[in-house]
Structure 1
């Protein structure tokens, strides 16, 4: 049996390695545009020069898994067409292409390896007094702004967003703002609508100078599912049933950011369990057993705030924040452990998660 995994992020790598253990007689091929595994949760460290986010896929994939360094042009009827024109036949496929950014022209998207490297190079070229603007007030934008402000205190760092840390409790939001203020990050409550060279025009009409503008908003997904004729939602995510199988083609599983699963947020905390469930379901089907529905409950949200600070927001299983949160070095320790757990889970194919809330 031939199984092709498209994408080698947290979800795809974990799915391939888990399936290798649970269905060792299958032939598994992973298709990925690069031969590195990218820890997206560490890309802000890559940009600031305080850490690295890449490791060779050869070290991450189990023995016996084939790696094709290529992009996929189309998923057809039991056949995947690569950008080189070559075809790969499959009995089942796992779509795990993740998410992408759709930035304004002039901004560098920092959620990809290419964008992070471009941002790092540009940052290295900035002289003291240069201005760096991070667009986006979610966890990625906050982590990036804090990391840059701590690593390059000679620069002016600002964060532009209508809402900052909107997924956190009120107390946690206040802590984030106090920390950014301590790191001298300017927060501008507005929206960038146009970038003209080194000038940002805001929705309010205000104009700001910016030597380097980084885009930290990630809500788009690659159009592979749509252009392959799979059913997608309005955002281009593949529509799936309760077992994470495409509603168009039951031979195709969709996991991670590119899958339209109600109640799920874009995060490695989502991608890893979905990749594991897809592997478990495939293994069950190979044994002639019925697939089981996917269920996931969250346990919290965690972010770094520089190298020695962080925040862990407790939530219920539906990802609604409680009032309780942890901060400071202990939260930074938790964040580092979460990052290591996520990478190790992908490498070993072993992970655990909570069941979702009753609906």
Structure 2
């Protein structure tokens, strides 16, 4: 009779749920998912939670495979030598293999006043904190959204479509990932919604006060509510547990997503840094990395050699309220191309993407091992360049 293997997955987001579901392919594997919340958070919809157009929460019963044990608690430490994790309640859970999928959240803002007066929305709790503040504010209250990545753009558009007076402070380029054609489409839609867009290097925020935002060029903008969408950080669990991480605290792994310190620990999602060259943070990427992390564990259990990760990012979706969006296409190496789909079709594709990011989890729960993803061909070149074997320029959109 085959020996049973206990697998613990830390984190119940896109990566963690995908990994847990995929692990149920084997009857001799027992999977425990540990997450601080009793429900799944659809992070792609947190800006809608803020605007009141979606609750951004899914019941785990709808997406988690049968037989997976859900523990609602927080892991405070990983104990590799004992192959166990310590929970906030003081309990410990043992493991044969561990999947580290703690995800990401808001980065600690270094701008004076941002932590005190800004409202980040990278987690459910942050979105829940902001929602009543908006509801209590007058309809004419000045709302400033700081940061012009997808989260900032989507939040600004969603609030403006709900009648809010919004200024989007980019601190640089509007939608840095987008092709110029897609960027122009975003700018045009924001203008139509009445959003004031301030871009360029002089629009970097230097301070946030209770009722204003100050810019590098000396301007001071009235802001009764400041939404902060600049940057993401990761939990410091790996650091606290003595595991090797990159500068941001992501767990360092090899290309199979296995920790460089311990082959019993595998990472997935935003908290993974394979070869110190992490993939772009996204729900899509998290799901694919979660599936690959599960495959690595299953390979090791079967005494087979795990394969290196191979993943491409063919597109990025940016919602512009309920009525429009931009579906920015990219080549296999995650570089935006001229082609995009905008307007109402773009909004429909954005909605499909949000729905499918959750549906993929449910499908994997019913048919473990069924999730597949497009492969890329640039990563090995990037790795050779990083190791000094060939000249190349690494750009943010390529990583």
Structure 1 residues 83-162: aligned runs within 5 Å: 83-101=88-106, 102-103=108-109, 104-105=114-115, 106-151=117-162, 153=163, 155-161=164-170, 162=172
1:237 to 2:250 alignment: yes
Where structure 2 has 5 or more consecutive residues not aligned to the other structure, the ranges are 365-369, 382-399
Specify which of 304, 316, 334 is matched with residue 319 of structure 2.
Answer: 304
SS in 1 for 2:347: helix
Secondary structure of 1:88's aligned partner: strand
Q: Distance in 1 between matches of 2:193 and 2:46?
A: 19
Aligned to 1:353: 373
Cα distance in 2, alignment partners of residues 92 and 274 from structure 1: 16
Q: Structure 1 stretches (4+) deviating beyond 4 angstroms? A: none
Kindly provide the CA deviation profile for residues 43-102 of structure 1, in whole angstroms up to 9, marking residues without a partner as x.
111111112200122332111111111111111121101111111111111111111112
SS in 1 for 2:233: coil
User: Superposed, which structure 2 residues align to 1:307-322 within 5 Å?
Assistant: 307-322=322-337
Which of 80, 87, 92 is the equivalent residue of 1:82?
A: 87
What secondary structure does 2:105 align onto?
coil
Count of aligned residue pairs for this structure pair: 356
Question: Partner of 1:195 in structure 2?
Answer: 208
Q: How big is each residue's C-alpha offset from its partner over 1:295-327, in whole Å with a ceiling of 9 and x where there is no partner? A: 101111111111010101110111101111110
> Deviations along 1:264-316, whole A, 9 cap, x unmatched?
10001210100001111212222221111111011111111110101011101
1:255 aligns with 2:268: yes
User: Which whole-Å CA distance do the structure 2 matches of 1:82 and 1:263 have between them?
Assistant: 28
- More divergent stretch after superposition (211-220 vs 344-353): 344-353
Alignment check: 8 A CA contact 1:133 1:157 kept? yes
Residue number in structure 2 paired with 1:4: 8
Structure 2 counterpart of 1:19? 23
Q: Distance in 2 between matches of 1:75 and 1:347?
A: 29
Instruction: Tell me how large the CA RMSD over aligned residues is.
Output: 1.2
Task: Give the Å deviation of 1:344.
Answer: 1.1
| Cα shift readout 1:162-193 (whole Å, capped 9, x = no counterpart) | 22101010111111111111101011221222
1:282 aligned onto 2:297: yes
CA distance in 2, matches of 1:128, 1:292: 54
Native 8 Å contact 1:297 1:318 kept in 2: yes
Q: Which residue in the other structure is 1:342 paired with?
A: 357
1:243 Cα offset (Å): 0.2
In structure 1, the partner of 2:34 is 31
Gaps of 5+ in 1: none
Q: CA deviation at 1:156?
A: 1.0
Check whether the contact 2:316–2:328 (CA below 8 A) recurs between aligned residues: yes
Residue 347 of structure 2 is aligned to residue 332 of structure 1: yes
TM-score between both structures, scaled by the size of structure 2: 0.87
Q: Which residue of 2 aligns with 1:183?
A: 193
Q: Within 5 Å, which residues of 2 pair with 1:46-65?
A: 46-65=49-68
Q: Which residue of 1 aligns with 2:226?
A: 213
Q: Would the aligned equivalents of 1:99 and 1:218 in 2 still touch at CA under 8 Å? A: no
Shift in Å at residue 351 of structure 1?
2.4
State the 1:263 CA deviation.
5.5
- The answer to whether the Cα contact below 8 Å between 1:11 and 1:346 also exists between their aligned partners in 2 is no
Contact 1:60 1:347 in 2 (8 A): yes
